């Protein structure tokens, strides 16, 4: 018997694709109004990364949009 999933897989990459650490850090520092510590913590702990460490989110806004898409499904 074939089972169906309620939430089909969603491509997690943002429209920009992979970002370098410096690109993501620059965008997140701007998001956090120059607070490099907050930007670094967010980037290291919460930004979407794959198993190779490639970063796919530049700011918490990107993360919130990803989470909202997953909740809607």
Q: Where are the domains of the chain?
A: 21-72
Give the whole-angstrom CA distance, residue 9 versus residue 24.
Answer: 25
Give the whole-angstrom CA distance, residue 31 versus residue 63.
Answer: 13
The pLDDT score that the predictor gives to residue 73 is 77
pLDDT digits (tens, 9 = 90+) for 20-49: 999 999 999 999 999 999 999 999 999 999
Confidence category of residue 59, pLDDT binned at 50, 70, 90? very high
| Average pLDDT over the chain, rounded to an integer | 84
């Amino acid at each position: 018997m074939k089972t169906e999933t309620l939430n089909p897989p969603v491509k997690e990459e943002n429209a920009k694709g992979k970002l370098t650490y410096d690109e993501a850090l620059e965008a997140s520092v701007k998001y956090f109004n120059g607070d490099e510590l907050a930007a670094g913590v967010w980037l290291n702990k919460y930004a979407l990364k794959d198993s190779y460490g490639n970063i796919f989110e530049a700011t918490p806004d990107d993360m919130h949009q990803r989470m909202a898409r997953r909740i809607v499904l």
